[in-house]
Chains A and B, each alone.
Chain A
Amino acid sequence: MAKESGKKEVIVAQELAKGQREISISEFFTKNRHLLGFDNPTRALLMTVKEAVDNSLDACNEAKIIPEILVDIKKINEDRFKVIVEDNGPGIVREQIPRIFAKLLYGSKFHRLRQSRGQQGIGISASVLYSQLTTGKHSVIISKIHPKKPAHYYELKIDTAKNEPLIVKDEIREWNKDHGTKIEIELEAKYQKGKQSVDEFIKQVAIVNPQAKINYITPENEKMDFPRVTNELPIEAKEIMPHPYGIELGTLIKMLAETSSRTLQGLLTTEFCRIGPGTAKEMCDKAGLKPDMKPKVINHEQAEKLFKAMQEVKVISPPTDCLSPIGEQLLEKGLKKEIPADFYITSSRSPVVYRGFPFLIEVGIAYGGELDKEGQVKLMRFANRVPLLYQQGACAITEAVTDTNWKAYGLNQSGTNMPTGPAIVVVHMASVWVPFTSEAKDALAHYDEIIKEIKLALQECGRKLNIYINKHVKAQEYQERINLFEKYIPEVAGSIAKLSNEKKTVIEEKLNKILKRERSSLENNGENGKGQ
């Protein structure tokens, strides 16, 4: 019996094994496109532009080049578009091109801690894959690294079973440009105007990247130019080692396996920040491990103990000089050039730390001018200079904004709703690791430290906004209140008529006469600021 059932089990397992196979990256992508932000055709277009523009800006930034970017979207038919993004960046060396554009999860950004736009290495290759899945077409890349070097032209696809680049064409071409990269991706998409459009995305990019010149041609062939207002490049963000408080167990296990350090103490002191030999020893003692152990022999259970010890031992905060803020002046310049308002105020806070990751918050407010007086305040959210257009309701930034008492700062607000009034609020979080709620990178996770910093920055700007509103807007309101007398007269006349049994029309006429006579003296009172 036992023998028989044993045999049967083997057969079942064999049967099951037939159904088990490696799931290809493209299959995973197709089934989980929402995780990566490709859940609908409108969004797919935005994601493609976003990834390409992010890459261009990051590359220029690292190479210290003042960016000049062209975004050209061509409509091929109702649901098919070609996205062309060209930059004057440093270009990409030939061997790297296929892997960067046609291999998922390839990138330099995932394993390092440094403030940059992308951080997962999914980016542009996901767009290439999406293009291939929806249109069957290859993507075109041309890149040049030096005026004296040739430009390389590639037509690429992704081998979806192996997640490897599939080179359709590899040529040397003439390209009348000193250096730069140009990509062309054709995809199934939909173009829309509005709050979550490519137009809005590029406008917001221009606000927080005042050093960039961007020319954009919409699918409807409108030309939108976003000028450069500064030649100052952002300060270069520095790479830092991970801090023990900000690491996941999985990452630690991976580090233990891949390290070149020969001892555990060596790993801790050289591959983390703020761990000296003393602290390293304390961690090892707490975990019951020897500092001179080989990292590679540490098993899972020991790794867990080590991980726990690393969280328990007191370690000073990571260095914070690694971040690159936009800066109050440049943020103001960026707002001024893209948003027609009367008043601008910005605040850039000092860096602080959440979970071992340094971050800083910047806030800008534009008020008045042509902004809508009645509607909700428009919130623009940014993470490492990238606009976040989706999932506003789920974002920690939104919570911080609605949780601030805007009535105290001259805006209207009912309860903890979004305030209303003619204002745009910009919130930027710069960090070596931005805590997004999902891979689609739409919303910041709700860490208390982050919400607190955002609120402080909002309050700082709010106080100055309030001073401005009191000084300038109240005078205008006074004028409006004088204009209200005309509307009040019929009401007062009606009440007095009822009380006195006199004729309403007579009272109305007489009150209008008094108003005509008193108007100028009422207005003078307003200018003197008496309000009496």
Chain B
Amino acid sequence: MVKMAKDNKEALIKLGKKLFAEIDKGKNPTIELPVRSLSNVSFDRKNKTLILGNKTAERSFFNVAHAKKFLQTLEVASIAKDLIHEEKHASLRDVFYMAKRTIPGTKVNLVDEQTESDDVIEDLELITELSREQLNVTANKMGSVVGRVTIEDRGDTIRWDKLGSGGYSIPSTVEEIKFKEVKADYVLYMEKAAVWERLNEDKFWEKNNCIIISSQGQTTRGIRRLLQRLYEEHKLPIYVLCDWDIYGAYIYSVIKYGSINLAHQAERMAIPNVKYVGITGDDVVKYDLKKHIIRLTDQDIKRIKQVSEYDWFKDDKVWQRQFKMMKEISGKVEIQALTSRGISFISEVYLPKKIKNKEFLA
């Protein structure tokens, strides 16, 4: 199921041996890695996922522009090797602190900001063909789930429907979770924790026999893998609920096709059949949400232009129509705007009706 690249320790040793061989021959040690930017990401129309192109970049030590990044890459690689050796897991934040120090005899810090070490970890995934999880590096837990599901996690049996108001907190790696019983017709994912809390309080999942999952903003890898496993292993349809704005549209596309900077992981995580329930521009008219429109900023308008030109949206008439509506009314609407129709309008009317009538944006 998951593409497990060989032995993780071996992969790191291989990197070390390669660089040693170059140094041994008096060559400038160089790491080659695929370019991780939009220019090297394309949309595979057949498989409906993003794929990483063939463009590669070189990172050499004896190059003034690369030296520090080279140093960071190897530092983080050796941290990962230690973690694997000791069978310990560290968070992205831990790795940052493990790497952070001043290089003796200089005023240079090996890393100054966590984004630097995070970035290098993503590079290492490409260099070693190991996933971050295989490098024993975890992210923060950022999501909650509730539904009639029983799982086994590190030897504990957990029922998702018996965890009160907080629900089950999704770990950063979900590969080790075993599903023992799954009773649901579909999975509803939403970008807002506050909406999840509303639906949980209203027992939406119980009344509609579904699983509800939320994140706070960006959909983490753990959540994306969890959605994919529920989709693939239990054949559950996945529905997405986002704000009607360009960021909501992008969140949806990341779940569906993969993300630009993790295009190399798209295959592992994309769910091409995911459906978008709302909010849509048509809802704004139908449910009279006009008075809750938030005006677009210049930043928003720029982003609409950018996203609407992505390969995977470019020829999508349904979404192009939504982008056009956003521009025409020059506004966006949050999920919570539905509250103006009553606090439980979303769980009692809006969602059941939309899902029953299959009013989705494909």
Q: Mark B26-69, 1 if CB is under 8 A from A, else 0.
A: 11110000000000000000000000000000000111110110
Q: Would you call A507 and B71 a contact (CB within 8 A)?
A: no
B103's partner among A487, A495, A498 (CB-CB below 8 A) is A487
Q: How far is the CA of A532 from the CA of B57 in the complex (A)?
A: 13
> In angstroms, how far is the closest chain A Cβ from the Cβ of B336?
33
From 470 to 510 in chain A, residues with beta carbon under 8 angstroms from any chain B beta carbon are 478, 481-482, 484-485, 487-488, 490-492, 494-502, 507, 510
Question: Is B166's CB within 8 Å of the partner chain A?
Answer: no
On whether A485 and B67 interact (CB within 8 A), knowing A513-B26, A514-B26, the answer reads yes
CB B25 to nearest CB in A, in angstroms, measures 9
Chain B at the A interface: mostly helix, strand, loop or mixed?
helix
A513 to B62, CA, bound (A): 12
Q: Would B67 and A488 count as touching, CB distance under 8 A?
A: yes
B contact residues, range:
20 to 34
Please give, as numbers and ranges, the residues of chain B lying within 8 Å of A482 by CB-CB distance: 64
Alpha-carbon gap, A511 to B62, bound state (A)? 9
Q: Which residues of A contact B74 (CB under 8 A)?
A: 492, 495-496, 499
Q: Does residue B97 face the partner (Cβ distance < 8 Å to A)?
A: no
Contacts of B82 in A (CB 8 A): 498
- A496 → B minimal CB distance (Å): 5
Minimum CB–CB distance for B235 against chain A, Å: 42
- CB of B106 within 8 Å of the partner chain: yes
Whether the Cβ atoms of A500 and B104 lie closer than 8 Å is no
- Assess whether A41 is interfacial by the CB under 8 Å rule: no
Q: Contacting A499 at CB < 8 Å: which of B12, B23, B64, B110?
A: B12
Check if B77 is an interface residue, CB within 8 A of chain A. yes
Stretch at the interface among A51-59, A206-214, A234-242, A518-526: A518-526
**Cβ of A515 under 8 Å from chain B:** yes
A288: CB under 8 A from chain B?
A: no
Q: Pick out which of these stretches binds chain A: B14-22, B146-154, B207-215.
A: B14-22
> Within 8 Å CB of A517, what residues of B?
26
Please state if B77 and A488 are interface contacts (CB–CB under 8 Å). Answer: no
B13 in the interface, Cβ–Cβ < 8 Å? yes
B78 at the interface (CB under 8 A from A): yes
Given that A510-B24, A514-B23 are known contacts, is A500 also in contact with B64, CB under 8 Å in the complex? Answer: no
Contact B26 A532, beta carbon cutoff 8 Å: no
With the chains together, A440 CA to B124 CA distance in Å? Answer: 62
From known contacts A500-B13, A510-B24, A518-B28, infer whether A495 and B65 are also in contact, taking CB-CB under 8 Å: no
* Cβ-defined contact, A498 with B26, below 8 A: no
Q: Which of B70-116 contact A (CB under 8 A)?
A: 70-71, 74-75, 77-78, 81-82, 103-106, 108, 110
Name the A residues within 8 Å of B71 (CB-CB).
488, 491-492, 495
Interface pair A498/B16, CB less than 8 Å apart: yes
Q: CB of A369 within 8 A of chain B?
A: no
Q: Within 8 Å CB of A375, what residues of B?
A: none
CA distance A376 to B167 in the complex (A): 51
Residues in A neighbouring B61, C-beta threshold 8 A: 488, 492, 511
Classify the interface of chain A: helix, strand, loop or mixed. Answer: helix
Question: Which of the residues A484, A497, A507 comes within 8 Å of B108, measured between beta carbons?
Answer: A484
**Complex contacts, A532 vs chain B, CB 8 Å:** 63-65
Which residues of chain A come closer than 8 Å to B28, judged between CB atoms?
Answer: 514, 518
**Cα of A525 to Cα of B67 in the assembled complex, Å:** 15
Give residues of chain B (173-231) contacting chain A, Cβ–Cβ below 8 Å.
none
User: Which of B15, B17, B74, B81 is the most central at the interface, judged by chain A CB atoms within 10 Å of its CB?
Assistant: B74
Q: In the assembled complex, how far is the CB of residue A465 from the closest CB belonging to chain B, in whole angstroms?
A: 22
A531 within 8 A of B: yes
Using Cβ atoms and an 8 Å threshold, which residues of chain B touch A500?
13, 16-17, 19-20
With A484-B108, A488-B103, A500-B13 in contact, is A495–B20 under 8 Å at CB? no
Taking CB atoms, residues of chain B closer than 8 Å to A497 are 16
- In the complex, residue of chain B having the shortest beta-carbon distance to the beta carbon of A477: B64
Cβ–Cβ contact A525 & B23, under 8 A: no
Most-contacted residue by chain B among A481, A492, A494, A501 (CB, 10 A): A492
> Which of B26, B64, B68, B74 has the largest number of chain A CB atoms within 10 A?
B64
Answer whether A487 and B106 are a contact pair too, CB < 8 Å, given A498-B78, A499-B12, A522-B64. yes
From the candidates B23, B26, B65, B108, name the one contacting A496 in the complex (CB within 8 A): B23
Q: How long is the Cα–Cα vector from A484 to B66 in the complex, in angstroms? A: 12
For residue A514, which residue of chain B has the nearest CB?
Answer: B26
Contact across chains for B64 and A492 when beta carbons are under 8 A apart: no
In the complex, A435 Cα to B176 Cα: how many Å?
70
B64 contacts A481, C-beta separation under 8 Å: yes
Q: Which residues of B are found within 8 Å of A513, using beta-carbon distances? A: 26
Contacts of A492 in B (CB 8 A): 29, 61, 70-71, 74
- The 8 A CB mask of A2-20 against B (1 = contact, 0 = none) is 0000000000000000000
Give the complex CA separation of A100 and B275 in angstroms. 88
**Complex alpha-carbon distance, A485 and B103, angstroms:** 11
B17, A487: Cβ atoms closer than 8 Å: no
Interchain CB contact under 8 A, B16 and A501 = yes
Min CB distance, A417 to chain B, in Å? 17
A496 to B18, CA, bound (A): 10
Chain B contacts for A515, CB-based, 8 A:
62
CB-based nearest A residue for B85: A498
**CB proximity of A491 to chain B, nearest CB, Å:** 6
Nearest CB in chain B: distance from A490 CB, A: 8
Return A60 CB to nearest CB of chain B, in Å: 49
Q: Closest CB of chain A to B220's CB: distance in Å?
A: 29
Cα distance A501–B126 when bound, in Å?
22
CB-nearest residue of chain B to A526: B64
Quote the shortest CB–CB distance from A524 to chain B (angstroms): 12
Bound Cα distance A484, B62 (Å): 11
Task: Report yes or no: A499 in contact with B67, Cβ–Cβ below 8 A.
Answer: no
B residues near A511, Cβ cutoff 8 Å: 23, 29, 61
> Of A478, A488, A490, A507, which contacts B20 at CB under 8 A?
A507
- Interfacial chain A residues near B64, Cβ < 8 Å: 478, 481-482, 522, 525-526, 531-532
Give min CB distance, A485 to chain B, whole Å: 7
Alpha-carbon distance between A513 and B71 when the two chains are bound, in angstroms: 18
**Residue of chain B at shortest CB distance from A519:** B62
Given contacts A499-B81, A518-B62, contact A481 B67 (CB under 8 A): yes
Could you tell me the distance between the alpha carbons of A76 and B26 in the complex, rounded to whole angstroms?
A: 74
Q: Given the complex of chains A and B, what is the CA–CA distance between A478 and B74 in angstroms?
A: 23
Output the least CB separation between A90 and chain B (Å). Answer: 56
Determine which residue in A481, A491, A517 has the highest number of CB atoms from chain B within 10 A of its CB, and name it.
A491
Q: How far is the CA of A218 from the CA of B82 in the complex (A)?
A: 65
The residue of chain B having its C-beta at the shortest distance from the C-beta of A510 within the complex is B23
A511 to B60, CA, bound (A): 12
Bound together, the chains give a CA A499 to CA B16 distance in angstroms of 5
What are the residues of chain A within 8 A of B15 when measuring CB–CB? Answer: 499
B270 to A: closest C-beta gap in Å: 32
A54 to B17, CA, bound (A): 74
- The answer for the CA separation of A498 and B28 in the assembled complex, in Å, is 19
Q: Is the CB of A484 within 8 A of B106?
A: yes
Are the C-beta atoms of B23 and A495 separated by less than 8 Å?
Answer: no
Chain B residues within an 8 Å CB radius of A525: 64
| Sampled A-B contacts (26; CB under 8 Å) | A478-B64, A481-B67, A484-B108, A487-B103, A487-B105, A492-B29, A492-B61, A494-B78, A495-B71, A495-B74, A495-B78, A496-B16, A498-B78, A499-B12, A499-B13, A499-B19, A499-B81, A500-B13, A500-B17, A501-B13, A510-B23, A511-B23, A514-B28, A517-B26, A522-B64, A532-B65
Interface residues of chain A, those whose CB is within 8 Å of chain B, are: 478, 481-482, 484-485, 487-488, 490-492, 494-502, 507, 510-511, 513-515, 517-518, 522, 525-526, 531-532
Other than the given A488-B67, A491-B75, 4 more pairs (CB < 8 A) read A487-B105, A488-B71, A491-B71, A532-B64
Closest 4 pairs between A and B when the two form their complex, measured CB to CB: A499-B16, A500-B16, A495-B74, A498-B78
